């Protein structure tokens, strides 16, 4: 089994871009959740990323898949990151990432690190620094 897979859902490509950075920093393979690839969820540590849409909703591909894949989180380590807009959606900022983290916890996963919440819409200059610090925490768990 691979050590780490990064799996993302992304509508306009912002979460996809961050997923690529995280995968690069972790030396991990990266998967789009919409590829419906069972292999994606077969790793010791799953790094799951989603943007938030609607008002606090999962990104569409995660919305379609989460119920089907959450059982595969059991006994895995899971780290979660999300992208959102903290100014336009202050009350529902990155809620989708929390939803995925809660689903993983409920399925029996061990959560690694804090849920990383990024606002590439308003604070893209902070993303690289936040990702670098978070990746260190995630690395220390494997």
Ligand X SMILES: Cc1cc2nc3c(=O)[nH]c(=O)nc-3n(C[C@H](O)[C@H](O)[C@H](O)COP(=O)(O)O)c2cc1C
Q: Residues in the site for ligand X, rule: CB under 6 A?
A: 10-16, 51-56, 59, 83-85, 89, 92-94, 120-121
Contact 45, 141 (CB under 8 A): yes
State the burial class of residue 56 (Cβ atoms within 10 Å of its Cβ: 0-12, 13-18, 19+). Answer: middle
Query: H-type helices in 27-84, by residue range?
Result: 60-69
Q: Closer CB to ligand X, residue 59 or residue 103? A: 59
Beta-carbon-side half-sphere exposure of residue 72 (alpha carbons within 13 Å): 18
| Residue 16 CB, nearest approach to ligand X (Å) | 6
Q: Which single residue brings its beta carbon nearest to ligand X?
A: 84
| Residue 34 CB, nearest approach to ligand X (Å) | 12
Q: Closer CB to ligand X, residue 63 or residue 107? A: 63
């Amino acid at each position: 089994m691979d050590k780490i897979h990064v799996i993302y859902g992304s509508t306009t490509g912002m979460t996809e871009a961050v997923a690529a950075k995280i995968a690069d920093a972790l030396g991990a393979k990266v998967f789009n959740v919409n590829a419906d690839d069972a292999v994606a969820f077969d790793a010791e540590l799953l790094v799951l990323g989603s943007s938030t849409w609607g008002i606090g909703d999962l990104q569409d591909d995660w919305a379609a898949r989460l119920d089907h894949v959450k059982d595969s989180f059991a006994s895995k380590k899971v780290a979660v990151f999300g992208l959102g807009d903290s100014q336009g959606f202050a009350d529902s900022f990155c809620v989708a990432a929390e939803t995925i983290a809660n689903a993983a916890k409920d399925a029996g996963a061990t959560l690694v690190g804090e849920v990383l919440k990024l606002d590439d819409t308003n604070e893209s200059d902070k993303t690289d620094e936040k990702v670098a610090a978070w990746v260190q925490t995630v690395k220390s768990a494997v």
